[in-house]
Structure 1
Amino acid sequence: MRKTATTVMTSTLVGALLAAGTAHADRDDWPESFTMGTASQGGTYYVYGSGWANMIADELDISGGGEVTGGPVQNLALVHEGDVAFGMTTMGPAAEAEAGESDLAPGMPLDNACAMFPMYETPFSITALSDSDITSISEIPDGASIGFGPSGSTSDTYFPEILETLGVDFERQNGGWNDLGGQLQDGLIDVIAFAAGIPIPAVSQLEVQTDVNIIEFTEEEQQKVLEEFPVSEFMIPADTYETLEEDARAVSMWNFAIAGCDLPEDFVYEVTRITMENNDKMRDIHRSAEFTVPENVKYNEVLPFHPGAARWFNENGYDIDDDMIR
């Protein structure tokens, strides 16, 4: 019996050592560290992306973190060039980048950025101070100074065109969300046009410091925007902000995490697995991560998937067609 027990223990130990050796071998081509391109501080991308990077770094025991960037458009370029391993983007800028129509690289397809996993929808919403008496889009005065977020962000790319389509005349301002929130509170700008996952930290902070109006689209305005832009219907739940008394009508665009297409397949597989199998930890990072679930993978019809990410989804019953895999 002692001999049998010893044999079993020895076999178990050898098996464990072999498994450990295999795991180590599988990581030989992994990067020693990684960076996730986010956006400006005060926006959802920064909170979500930095928290995600810290979680992945802890789970995989490698160095990683978030980096402040100009947002979705710049993230596509940074990932394409290999300046960051991962990034976050929305489907509108992604389609333009694939077609070689990115403002940062006109005429050059940014095709080395692959889809990894779904994040959440980005609603387009408008905030003004309550004492401005702006309670609707049609009440925004001609020549109003409107902050559209960082240059090249989803908001800056699409919201000016959306408001122009709705007949708004404005002066365009750019800046980080926290900075624009301070300018709004100080009366330096009249309105902020946000495109970010909710709740937007800068809006929540404004609510604590002053009275604000969160302005919704009318049904007619929403329909007109749906006809002209790559967005979907969306309702901002009333419990998102203290200011809201009922759901607010908006439009939205899906966000996906992206990875350099040349990153090792096993590395991206593990990153995807950890993200998709730990939604409770993701929700602890940011409330919007309740939508960071496998079934939402279907909302990417633009970017090809990284083979490592596609392998995890296909293994778990979320089929990705071969022509959507790089």
Structure 2
Amino acid sequence: MKKKLALALSMVMILSLALTGCGNNDKGSNTSSTSGGSNTSASTSTPNNETPSGEKVDITIATGSTSANYYAIGNVMATVLNPVLTKGNIGVTSTGASAANVQLLQDNEVNFAIIQNDVAYYAATGTDLFDGEDPYEDWGALCALYDEVVQVFTLNPDIKTFTDLKGKTVSVGASGSGDNFAAGQIFAEFGMTFNDVNPVYQSYSDSAEGMKDGKIDAAFCVSGAPTTALVDLAATANKPLNVITLEDEHIENLMAAYPFYAKTVIPAGTYDGLDRDTTTVSIRAMLVCRNDVPEDVVYELMTAMFDNQASLADGHAKFKELSLEGAVAGVSIPYHPGAEKYLTEQGATLS
């Protein structure tokens, strides 16, 4: 039975990705959607609590790069949930991840997004990454999904500790990304700045390719572990992959300065060549949406996610972490009314 389900999911995923390649790409992003009935587009304002009878709202989820977890998770949601949704229809767009997704929400180019809880906090308060900007208030949280682990990875055997990065070529994340901001915070904790290294501003998927070619010594990745790009790197590189351990003292300082951080252990064997447990910090991936998405659309989506968790987990392992307790952990912005209604009915204690 599981083999049949996995085969079915695979076939639908292939179709979904094929449709992705055929979509419009005005802003350099890939969009996939599974049609179903009459749709209300993401740019249509629907402030009422319910959708008109017989209509479906286009749920357009901003994710991340095509090699990252956000994009894969969004596609699994579309594959598994679209057949059971009656009020919404999920499509997925590839983006520059968290910070870019906030802007897409603000511009009403998408109505849902997966973002990091620290980036959500900065956007909602107009601080740090969004310093000097008006706080963004036109959105709400659905739930936290899973841990986003800060992984400083390298194939260079001479890099064993964080301070060994000095003088090396280090990818500190794409400019303006959550990875880039986390990198800056951790550099500061170790009394360093980007001036102490030769900084490269790339996504971690591009960084993995550059590392394989010997152009980059180390790189930052803030993503669920295992991360696809790192799995591929570890499997194809001729050198052991190392993820740098952060000492407890530095972890405690980071958690005191930035309450969205948590201590996390990456188990040995997570990647080929990683032969020891690695201690680091993590943040949380969150699903959010615009406040003008009707309450019943969000409520139905939340219900479908939890009712079909096993099928979602068959499509992507990160859905194994979905739980009512975890859904409210680390949520850094107010909830959308539809999500609040669902979580309250299920007995969750909202943060």
**Same fold, TM exceeding 0.5?**
yes
Structure 1 CA distance for aligned equivalents of residues 269 and 166 of structure 2: 29
**Corresponding residue of 1:128:** 154
**Corresponding residue of 2:275:** 245
1:87 aligns with 2:87: no
* SS of corresponding position for 1:96: helix
Report Cα offsets for 1:63-91 as digits up to 9, x if no partner.
Answer: 43221112112212222332112101122
Report Cα offsets for 1:244-299 as digits up to 9, x if no partner.
Answer: 22321010112210011110110000111111222212222322222221111331
Q: How does 1:284-323 map to 2 (within 5 A)?
A: 284-320=314-350
Q: Which runs of 5+ in 2 are unaligned?
A: 1-49
**Is residue 118–residue 293 contact of structure 1 (8 Å, CA) maintained in 2?**
no
The equivalent position to 2:245 in structure 1, one of 211, 216, 229, is: 216
The equivalent position to 2:226 in structure 1, one of 185, 199, 202, is: 199
Structure 2 CA distance for aligned equivalents of residues 136 and 217 of structure 1: 8
Structure 2 CA distance for aligned equivalents of residues 102 and 164 of structure 1: 14
Deviation of 1:198 (Å): 1.3
Structure 2 CA distance for aligned equivalents of residues 66 and 104 of structure 1: 25
**Corresponding residue of 2:169:** 145
Q: How does 1:90-105 map to 2 (within 5 A)?
A: 90-101=116-127, 103=129
1:106 aligns with 2:135: no
1:258 aligns with 2:278: no
The AA in structure 2 aligned to 1:304 is P
Deviation of 1:59 (Å): 2.4
* SS of corresponding position for 2:176: coil
The AA in structure 2 aligned to 1:113 is W
**Corresponding residue of 2:190:** 166
Deviation of 1:240 (Å): 2.1
Deviation of 1:301 (Å): 4.6
Deviation of 1:209 (Å): 0.8
Matched residues, number = 294
**Is residue 302–residue 342 contact of structure 2 (8 Å, CA) maintained in 1?**
yes
Relative distance call for 1:181 and 1:28 in structure 2 (3 A) is: same
**Is residue 189–residue 250 contact of structure 2 (8 Å, CA) maintained in 1?**
no
Deviation of 1:31 (Å): 4.6
Structure 2 CA distance for aligned equivalents of residues 63 and 160 of structure 1: 38
Structure 2 CA distance for aligned equivalents of residues 196 and 275 of structure 1: 21
The AA in structure 2 aligned to 1:189 is I
The AA in structure 2 aligned to 1:42 is S
* SS of corresponding position for 1:59: coil
Structure 1 CA distance for aligned equivalents of residues 75 and 172 of structure 2: 22
Relative distance call for 1:63 and 1:308 in structure 2 (3 A) is: closer
Structure 2 CA distance for aligned equivalents of residues 108 and 54 of structure 1: 36
- TM-score normalised by the chain length of structure 1: 0.83
- TM-score normalised by the chain length of structure 2: 0.77
Deviation of 1:102 (Å): 6.4
Q: Which runs of 5+ in 1 are unaligned?
A: 1-25
* SS of corresponding position for 1:172: strand
1:226 aligns with 2:255: yes
Report Cα offsets for 1:223-261 as digits up to 9, x if no partner.
Answer: 332233331111112242232223210101122100111
Structure 1 CA distance for aligned equivalents of residues 73 and 172 of structure 2: 20
**Corresponding residue of 1:8:** none
* SS of corresponding position for 1:240: coil
**Is residue 169–residue 218 contact of structure 2 (8 Å, CA) maintained in 1?**
yes
**Is residue 41–residue 176 contact of structure 1 (8 Å, CA) maintained in 2?**
no
Structure 2 CA distance for aligned equivalents of residues 270 and 135 of structure 1: 48
Relative distance call for 1:44 and 1:149 in structure 2 (3 A) is: farther
Report Cα offsets for 1:156-178 as digits up to 9, x if no partner.
Answer: 12212312321342232222332
Bigger helix share: 1
Report Cα offsets for 1:94-152 as digits up to 9, x if no partner.
Answer: 1111112364683311111210012001111111114x42122122232x222133333
* SS of corresponding position for 1:33: strand
**Is residue 41–residue 178 contact of structure 1 (8 Å, CA) maintained in 2?**
no
Structure 2 CA distance for aligned equivalents of residues 227 and 313 of structure 1: 29
**Corresponding residue of 1:185:** 212
**Is residue 98–residue 116 contact of structure 2 (8 Å, CA) maintained in 1?**
yes
**Corresponding residue of 1:176:** 203
* SS of corresponding position for 2:328: helix
**Is residue 204–residue 220 contact of structure 2 (8 Å, CA) maintained in 1?**
no
Q: What fraction of aligned residue pairs are identical, expressed as a percent?
A: 24
* SS of corresponding position for 1:270: helix
